[in-house]
Amino acid sequence: MNYSDFFKKAKEKNITNIQVVEKNDIDSSVEVIDGKIITYDDSNLINYSIKAEYKEKTVKLQTEYLDESIIDLIIMKCENTDSEYKDDYLKNIDNISKNKPLEFNIKNEIDKLISLDKFKEKYKEISKITTYFSESYNNTRIINSNNVDISTDSHLCSFIVEIIIEENGKFTSYDEKLLTTDKNKIDFESFTESVIKKTLVIKNKEKIATKKYNIILDRRVAGRIIGSFGHMLSANAIRNKVSCLENKINEKTFSEKLTIIEDPTNKEYPGYRLFDNEGTKTYKKEIIKNGVIKTKLYNIKEAILANTQSTGNGYDRIATKNMYAVPGKLTDEELLKKLNNGIYIADYMESGATSINSVNGTISLQVFGFIVENGKLKSGIESSILSTTIFELLSNIEEIGNTLQFTTTSFASPSMLIRDISISRWQQINTFV
């Protein structure tokens, strides 16, 4: 059913307002192991998020198709809910024509991934090279019964390398991911060799003493920690008193070296959006400036409750696009030299035993990485626990690197040199019942 007929049927059944968010995702992806194609996929998916008002009640639902049965479902949901929730519906804004979907193929990238198997000749220790590449086009369109029709799109390329080394029956794996809007900027060979060299170092693990260390947080680790601000500064979390930043707005809370910006309008970054999923125009904003928290993040619902304006962070829930810590001046090599001796945190495990607690700000992470001696990666570390708080960690920043690398559309960060953070040996506890 086309939109004109869909909205006409909705009006005939006394639906006052109806608005559809259409998401179209086109994707090609390939996985290559030891020079052989393991999987190849092409997909073209469309789904719809709908909100509608009937008898002064608003309900929302998800669907993969549009027909009259969806309208009947909306009415049934309104009649069977006690909620008095109301919402805004876009009107009186300039329409943005939907772009023609981007055409692409990944044949050249497949050939490049296959050719990377040659590194097994150069580095005999390698047991397996797994590489993954995907290219995608995403379009978000919002259209409603008020004659609004706006569209925004993005183009992403993802490259992942995992190296496995087997030695005396023990396996070591290490992986890294690259996300970009321009696949021509990916140096497949250089990136892969960098991952190989780190794997060769990390396979030789040492136990470390329990104490405070000066550390470097790798870009992907720092990025995930920066990403936690999306929830901590959510107006919903603050209103419900489940954020440790509830009373910190406009206070100096972190190192003055830390400035965090959200900029969905930057087309060079992977989270490019002209508007959020509610149709609110996005804009570049300072979330933290020189350690001072500057703003909460709002969607329409929370903005109405607070008698303010949405900040353009309504993505089904309050979330961010292209939020990042502003880079400093030092290269990664210069950060290592300045650290001199310490620990380089390369990754942490996502599990129930590790967390960044947004309610009280505590951080307890099962981390993996390297011992650094004389400014160089010396060896890996046995699995360890980093224990701190969001306040201590980001107040103790000494330097921020100059390389910003996104691994998600939501957030990113350069590497960070941080002083005096507690790291202890991880001890697995077996419980027998």
Which residues, in sequence order, are CB contacts of 151 under 8 Å at separation 6+? 96, 97, 98, 99, 139, 140, 141, 142
pTM, two decimals, is 0.90
Average pLDDT over residues 171-200: 95
pLDDT at 213: 97
Q: How far is CA 199 from the centre of its chain?
A: 24
**Sequence spans of domains, the chain:** 3-200, 205-225+327-425, 247-325
Q: Element (H or E) spanning 249, and its range? A: none
Per-residue pLDDT band at 431 (split at 50, 70, 90): very low
Per-residue pLDDT band at 83 (split at 50, 70, 90): confident
433 has pLDDT over 80: no
Per-residue pLDDT band at 429 (split at 50, 70, 90): very low
pLDDT at 306: 95
pLDDT at 150: 96
Q: Judge contact between 322 and 266, C-beta under 8 A.
A: yes
pLDDT tens-digit map of 193-232: 999 999 999 999 999 999 999 999 999 999 999 999 999 9
Q: Give the C-alpha separation, 258 to 364, whole Å.
A: 21
Q: Element (H or E) spanning 43, and its range? A: strand 36-54
CB atoms within 10 A of CB 147: 11
Average pLDDT over residues 105-128: 96
Class for domain 3-200, per CATH? alpha beta
pLDDT at 349: 85
Average pLDDT over residues 352-371: 87
351 has pLDDT over 70: no
pLDDT tens-digit map of 54-75: 988 889 999 999 999 999 999 9
Average per-residue pLDDT in the chain? 93
pLDDT tens-digit map of 239-248: 999 999 999 9
Percent of the chain scoring above 90 in pLDDT:
88
Which pairing describes strands 323-325 and 411-413: parallel, antiparallel, or unpaired? Answer: parallel
125 has pLDDT over 80: yes
Q: Which two tokens stand for residue 241?
A: 């008193």
Task: Judge residue 249's burial from the number of C-beta atoms within 10 Å of its C-beta, 0-12 exposed, 13-18 middle, 19 or more buried.
Answer: middle
